[in-house]
Structures are given as C-alpha cells and as structure tokens.
Chains A and B, each alone.
Chain A
Amino acid sequence: MTNLIDQPRYVCALGAMQTVSSIERAVPILHAGPGCGAKLSLGMTEGNGGQGSGYISYHIFPSSNISEKEVIFGGEKRLKETIENALKVIDADFFVVLTGCVSEIVGDDVQEVVKSFANAGKPVIYAETAGFKGNNLIGHELVINAIIEQYLKPASVVDKLVNIWATVPAHDAFWYGNLIHLEKLISEIGLIPNTIFGPRKGLKTIDKIPQASFNLLISPWVGLKNVELLKQKFGTPYLHYPVLPIGPQETGNFLRTVAQFGGISPSIVEAVIKKHEDEYYYFIERAADTFLETRSIARRFVTIADSHYALAVSRFLVNDMGLFPAKQFVIDGIPEEYKESVSNLFLKYNHGIQAEVEFSSDGQDVQEQIRKTNYYGRPLILGSIWEKVLAKELMGHYIGISMPVSQRLILDRSYVGYDGALRLLEDIYSVVLETSI
C-alpha cells in the first residue's frame, strides 16, 4: 500500500462546493485558483453520473481566480470585491465562501473579510476547505459545520421531526434518489423527515435543523462530526446508523432501529415492513429463476467503493442475495480514527460470514490485488469507471456504483430500501444477461 493517488476516486476538500450548490439557491464563492471550480466540479458532476448543472454550476460560481499578484500581496481585497459583486450579480439566498490551497498558505484572513458582510442582507458564511487538508468528504463535513456554527440559531423542538443525513451530494451520484427514498421510508413509520439538499428545500429546511427531535445519520463515518456538533450546540440527540439500507434485511433492521429511537410503536413499523417485503418478494420469487440459472455469474463479488457503498452493497448481496464477499476495498480516504469501527462492520454478515477489508487510495494497487484473486468463476465487480477495463480483462460482470461513475446517467435512481434493491438487481442482472448473449 502506498500513499500514491492512482485512479482518483475523490477530490479535495474544496470539492465541498458541490455540497453548497446542492442546497437550493445557495452559492459557493471560491477564494481559489482559476481552475479549481471547473476541475473539481467536472470530476464530481459531469464525470460522475452525468450530473450537470442545476440552478447554478461551476461556470456560475463566483471566484477570486487567484493569480501571481494575490500569491505575493495577499488576496483579501480581491476576495472582498468578489463577494461584494457576487451579491449584486447572482440571484441567490445564501453565500458560502470556500478557501482553496493558495489563500490558506498565503494566510488571507477570510474570517475578517466575511465578517464585514454581516449586514449584507443575505447570509454570507465561510469554510476553510484548502485541498491539502483532506478530501471532499471532509470538505462536506466542514461546510455543514460552518452552517451549524455560523448560521443556525437555536429553536424549539418539533416532535417527530428528524433531520436525515445520508450520502454526500454529487460525490454520490445517487444522492438525490437516496434522500427521496429515505424520506419516504421515514414518513411511512410516522416521523417527519427534514433534508436540506435538492429541490424545494434550501434555507427553509436548513432553518428547521435545530427544531429536530433527533438527527439521523446514515453513514459509516461521513457526517459524524456534524451530528456531534449539533448535539453540542443544540442538544439534539443523534442516531448513527452506519449502513445505507439496501434490501429487506438491512432496511427492516434500519426501520426498527429508527422507530425504537424515535419512540414509534413496533406494530406500526412491522406493518410497514410487511407491506414492503410482500411487494419485494413478489419480484424476487419471480426473478429467482434468473438468479439461479444464468450461466455466467459466480457467487463471489468485490466492491471497490466508498465506505457507504462498499458496506451497503456487500450487506445486501450477502444477507439478502446469498452471494459471497471476497476482499472488499474502501477507497474514500477514510480518516484514521474511523478505520477500526468501519472495518468491524464488514465482519457482521449473516451466518458468521466476514469480509476482509482494505482502505486504500491507490486504485492501481487494488486492481493488481484483484487480478491475483481467485473468484472461482467470473467475478462480480462493483466499482467505478476505473474498473471497466479490469472487468473486461477478467471477463467479470461489472457495474459502476461509486465515484467516478463516468459511464452512467443517474437522475433519480437509488438503491436504497426495498425499491432500490430491486433497481440494483435489475442493473446487476441486466449486465449478467447481456454478457451471456
């Protein structure tokens, strides 16, 4: 294992510009080099599930486009005029200044500049997201923490209101579909979901964050710092459910856990679960012929994915579909402090099944290991665009699920819950069927 980035599967902290732009009518103001906006956004959006613009895109992001002059003389004046004019030109409700590498190295006092806009009429906050500080998942946490610290005000708690925090916008091409499905599931058991990303949300739902009776974090590690800060600042308790639920076993467990935490009666939850499982198994029973009788799929699979998807997909394929995990690769630059707890989650499949897991940022090294692994047949490879060539070489079955998913158009698709599991099976077995003709 090396420290090399070979086959990048994430970008730097400044990639959190996509977290900001996923909030309706919020705009990131970049205090960064001229190319940071386009580079990072292209990797995270157009090169990832065909996610393009929206109300804004990187072409709209105001940016100080730091040049040699600011490197030498500092860029505070430049940033100030950028913010001033952004407020005049861009029609938005919320401005988040994000710093890049250069401004942090030369030591611009961004806090001071941003403070001078306290009475601008619209909220202007900032987050220090220099690229050398970490990856875009860390950047996402920094932005959410900046919102909590600099924007949110205490509010009285609304019973049953739950903030849902799940996969990271843009980084996960399925982020929006996931939120829709999670909101739906949470509503069905009688809780009131609140999310902040995507259409018809924005400041309106951000303002509600402190009103929640609890925060629901569905993530192996990303976002823990945010729910902890919310607990500290507003006293809001949180439920950390580490696995993105895909399929009946995990989703059932998820709903029961949330219901218990949220004080929902078991009878309500069991009814919801039964209804969904009946629907789900109608299809599974029919499709089981295909699962069992295709000629080409073996039972072993490998994920090369961020911790959300490596965990979620492997849980589903093992616990619901009876497949078997080979070594799993988590490639999201997970911080040292979470490695142990996340790797333990790969030890808890049904029937005492365990998977070896490796954390790596070196895709080429991971692929070398996969080449040397015996999958006892054609492997099922769940990864990113980087695995396409490898899969062909190994005659594997392959779908892209984790950034960068450059070969797919993802709109509202999601693999979450019962419906999501059916979509995942359609996608996997369409590949299997396609291969066998």
Chain B
Amino acid sequence: MEINLKVAEAPTRENRLGSISGYSGTLRDAAQKAGCGGLGNRERCFNQASLCNAGCAQGMVCGILDAAVVNHAPVGCTVDAIGASVVRKYLGMMLGFEPRNAQFVGTNLNENDTVFGASAKLRGAIIETYRRYHPNAIFVSTSCVSGVIGEDIKSVIEDLKPDIPIPVIPLFCEGFKSKIWATGFDMAWHALLTGIVKPPQKKTNVINFINFFGSEKRQITELFAKFGVEPLFLPAGTTVDQLSRMSESIATVSICGTLGTYLGNGLEKQYGVPYVQTLRPHGITGFEEWLRGIGKVIGKEHEVENYIALERARVLPELEKMKQQLHGIKAVVGMGPGYTFNFIRVLQELGVETIWASAWHFDPKYDKGLVVEDLDYLVKNLQMDIPFSVSDQQNFELMNVLNTLKPDIYFSRHQGTTVWALKQGTASVCVMDEYTAFGYNGTLNFASMILDAVTNRSLANNIAKRTKLPYTEWWLNQPNSTFLKKVEV
C-alpha cells in the first residue's frame, strides 16, 4: 500500500504492511514466509498488558520544542506528559536547550462527555493551550474514548482556523486501533507530513536524521562535517520551522528501520528527498555500510573510505581482544524488530551467539515495498538459523523461553522488561539508548558492557535466589507458543 498523504491518517501497520504481532518459529522461516506474503498473524488467547500506539505517536511530537500537544482523552492517557517532561529536561541538559516541562495537556474526558460529547471542551483546550504556550504548532491527539464516542476532531480544528494562526493537526492514535504500537510513529509522521512540512524553496546540505533522543548529536555532527553535510536530529529537540524544511534536505536516514520507514519514504515520495536504506549504524558492519550509503547519496564515497580506514586501524585491534573474551557467550534478545535484527548482527560480530530472539512485532516489508534490510542481511549471513518469536512484549512467553534456555545474557530495550530476566537469574543489559553500539567507539563500549555484565553476576544471582517468578510450574513447562491461535486468514 502506497503512502497516501491525502487521507486523514496513516493506515495501521497491519493494514499497510501486513505486519504481525504473533508468531513462533525461526528467523529464516519468518523471513521466507514474509517474502511469499504468507506470514499471517497468530492471535493469542491469553495476553498481558502491552503498549498502545498513542505512546509512540505522542512521544514523537512532544519532543518538538515549540509545539504543544492537546490530548483529547480521560486523564489517564495524558499521563504520558510526565515521562515526556522528564525526557525533555534530560534532553535539554544533554543537548543544550532550555530544560522545561513538556507542553502537553489533556481535556480530562469524564462520564458526561462520553454521553454528550466534548467538542466544546476540546475547542476550549486548544484555545487555552495556544494562549498559554504560544506554540508554533498544536497536535491534537485522540484516545480510545474520543474514538469510540465519535468525536469529530477534524471539524473542531477546522472551525478554529480563523482564530488560531498556526498549524493545528490531528494525531489519530486510538489505542485499540493497532496491536502494533509502532503504528503510532507512522501517525506522528503522517501528521508532520500533512500539517508541517512545506514544499522546498531551495536545496540544503542537511541530512534528516530520524531518531529518538539524539545522545550522539555531537559526535555525529562532527562526523558529518567531515563530509560537508549537517544532521538535523528529529523530531525531539527540533523546531516547527526546522521540520517544515525537511523537504529541502539532501537525504534522510533513520537510526531504526521500524521508526523511520513512513517518514523517510514519505519525504522521498512527496519531495524526492532520498531515504538512505542500509543496515543501521550499530556494530562495525552496520556502521560502515550505513556510512557508505550516505557517502554514495551525497557524493563523498572517497572521503568515507578514508575515514573508515583510519578508524579501523584505531579501534579494531582492541575490539579483537575483547571478542576473544566474548566468544561462546549465549544470548537472548527481546526488542522491537528493528533493534532485534540489528543487535543479532552486532552480537554475531562480537562472537556472542543469539540462541533465541523475540521481536515486539514483525514488518514483512517496509513502505514502498522495500525489504527489511537488517533482517535480509541476517537471512543471508547468519551462520545458523535462530529460533524466533513475535510477541507484543508478552512476558509469560519470554520467561518461559529464558527458563528453558538459560542463556548467559538477555538484551532488552524497553522499560520494565529487563528486570524480569534478572529475576530469573540471567544477567541483563538494557539497550536503552538508541546509539548503544553506534559506530566504532559505541561497539567497543557495548562489548565492554557485555563483558562486565556476564563477569559480575552478583545482582542477578542474589535477586534470583530470593525471587519466586509469578508463573505456575505448569506454564513454565509448556511450549512458549501454547496460547498462539492458528494463523488468521
């Protein structure tokens, strides 16, 4: 399905890409079935709480420095403002902009509103938000309740046009709409592409850098300067004006394939900004391929090769030594699909064997029908096939796997997931920062982090000794796929 910016909202990943959240098998099998279009979803008849796309959608836009979010929802949904605010202050400190609370309010839908509607309330909230913060854009995010009771967000926004001279953009992210929270990224990008980005006036030397928090901003800015280009880390930490000019950039890259597909391909389709589709810059192979991909697009292939040669000479000898120590370590990985595939590759480079991988969802392809490069690389280059499951953070399945396989280490990337492996007695590392294992230095740091974690297992051992897992013996002895239903047609 083509990206269509004429419609109000992006179709869900399930509908657009055929993405799934339930599968159990192997990596090669999943990739092969995906290629043939036969990878159907397996629903579960038992689920644990997962996440909804509103978190991803709001999480993306609330990092825009001069924008505000109005969440048309009961108060609970607006709790995202707390995390957004903590992150915003952290980013301010790290990246050098004013640390301040997030501009993220909620309409506080109550029981009456579910009966009589709350358009007036939404209208008032948008006007008050504009008065209060003078933002340069307002995103109006929806919720399960606003969706189910049929609130007409578009009309409220349309009616406000004469009063509010800035883009007011709907962000459709009802939680029940998609099992795949990454759909929320696409909803946010759709809002940017339809409400913020303007046609180019000129061409610039800027590379749109889609990422989450931008902790490597300084290093990458210096690196790109060597090649005469300038990164724009987005969306967190940007201004509405900067985002409006994404169409003028020389190229777009994304730190994560899952994150960037809709925006990268949307900018390419609408404005001809090339989306650099390579492996992601984690580990040595990924970083080098990524950098070469950028070099090619901006015509700096020679400079890139010189840089790579110098860095290899500097870092590889030390990395080789660490690899010898890491050899033979067995790992289980549980992350979003982009990072799961990336980190299987990085671990293989370091000599760590992935004995099970789980991805929180699975995209058979990216937008524009593009192949999922990081998966494709694995299928072509893996020494052995890997047992693989797709689960929307279903802890019971993962704990079952860890309990059976007892790996040396578990790699997570999401809040609240790491500790459970630890309780089971597995040393655990949370790849919280998206730039973990980025480039040469990052890979070295990551290798050292793994070594430290598997060498000093005190915390894992101590906690596991005193912890009873909240699962029945019966469950821990079942196959992990027990509650997966048959493939839906």
Chains A and B belong together in one complex: yes
Q: Which residues of A contact B (CB under 8 A)?
A: 2-8, 10-15, 27, 30, 32-43, 46-47, 52-53, 55-68, 70-71, 81-82, 85-86, 88-92, 100-102, 105-106, 130-136, 333, 361, 364, 385-386, 388-389, 404, 406
For chain B, residues 82 to 141, give those with C-beta under 8 angstroms from any C-beta of chain A: 82-83, 85-86, 89, 99-101, 105-111, 113-114, 121, 124-125, 128-129, 132
Contact B85 A386 (CB under 8 A): yes
Contact B106 A5 (CB under 8 A): yes
Contact A52 B416 (CB under 8 A): yes
B249 within 8 A of A: no
Contact A33 B48 (CB under 8 A): no
Q: Which of A2, A34, A385 has a CB less than 8 Å from the CB of B86?
A: A385
Nearest B residue (CB) for A47: B82
- With a cutoff of 8 Å between Cβ atoms, the chain B residues found around residue A130 in the complex are 74, 111
Contact B148 A46 (CB under 8 A): no
- If A47-B86, A85-B45 are given as contacts, then 7 extra A-B residue pairs at C-beta distance below 8 Å, sorted by A number, are A4-B129, A34-B392, A38-B49, A42-B416, A53-B419, A60-B396, A136-B76
Q: Which of B81, B176, B393 has a CB less than 8 Å from the CB of A8?
A: B81
Nearest B residue (CB) for A48: B82
A305 to chain B, nearest CB (A): 15
**A-contact bits for B284-308, CB 8 A (1 contact / 0 none):** 0000000000000000000000000
A333 to chain B, nearest CB (A): 8
11 contacts between A and B (CB under 8 A): A3-B107, A4-B129, A8-B82, A35-B51, A38-B416, A43-B83, A88-B474, A101-B145, A385-B86, A386-B101, A406-B82
Given A4-B128, A62-B46, A63-B47; A361-B108 close (CB under 8 Å): yes
Total contacts A to B, CB within 8 angstroms?
235
Q: Which of B86, B144, B396 has a CB less than 8 Å from the CB of A102?
A: B144
Contact A70 B176 (CB under 8 A): yes
- With a cutoff of 8 Å between Cβ atoms, the chain A residues found around residue B109 in the complex are 132
Cα-based distance from A137 to B475 in the complex (angstroms): 34
Nearest B residue (CB) for A39: B79
Q: Which of A41, A59, A81, A385 has a CB less than 8 Å from the CB of B420?
A: A59
Given A8-B79, A12-B76; A36-B49 close (CB under 8 Å): yes
Q: Which of A43, A52, A63 has a CB less than 8 Å from the CB of B82?
A: A43
B181 within 8 A of A: yes
A152 to chain B, nearest CB (A): 24
Cα-based distance from A115 to B106 in the complex (angstroms): 36
Q: Which residues of B contact A (CB under 8 A)?
A: 45-55, 73-83, 85-86, 89, 99-101, 105-111, 113-114, 121, 124-125, 128-129, 132, 144-145, 148-149, 175-177, 179, 181, 392-393, 395-396, 415-417, 419-420, 468-475, 483
- With a cutoff of 8 Å between Cβ atoms, the chain A residues found around residue B177 in the complex are 67-68
Q: Which of A38, A64, A67 has a CB less than 8 Å from the CB of B51?
A: A38
Contact B46 A5 (CB under 8 A): no
Contact B148 A105 (CB under 8 A): yes
Nearest B residue (CB) for A101: B145
A209 to chain B, nearest CB (A): 24
Cα-based distance from A386 to B88 in the complex (angstroms): 12
Q: Which 8 A-B pairs have the closest CB atoms?
A: A35-B52, A37-B49, A12-B76, A85-B46, A131-B74, A43-B79, A33-B175, A5-B106
Given A89-B472, A90-B471; A47-B83 close (CB under 8 Å): yes
Q: Which of A39, A71, A106, A404 has a CB less than 8 Å from the CB of B52?
A: A39
- With a cutoff of 8 Å between Cβ atoms, the chain A residues found around residue B46 in the complex are 62, 81-82, 85-86, 89
Contact A105 B395 (CB under 8 A): no
A60 to chain B, nearest CB (A): 5
Contact A406 B86 (CB under 8 A): yes
Nearest B residue (CB) for A386: B101
Q: Which of B48, B55, B110, B121 has a CB less than 8 Å from the CB of A35?
A: B55
Contact A67 B176 (CB under 8 A): yes
Contact A11 B76 (CB under 8 A): yes
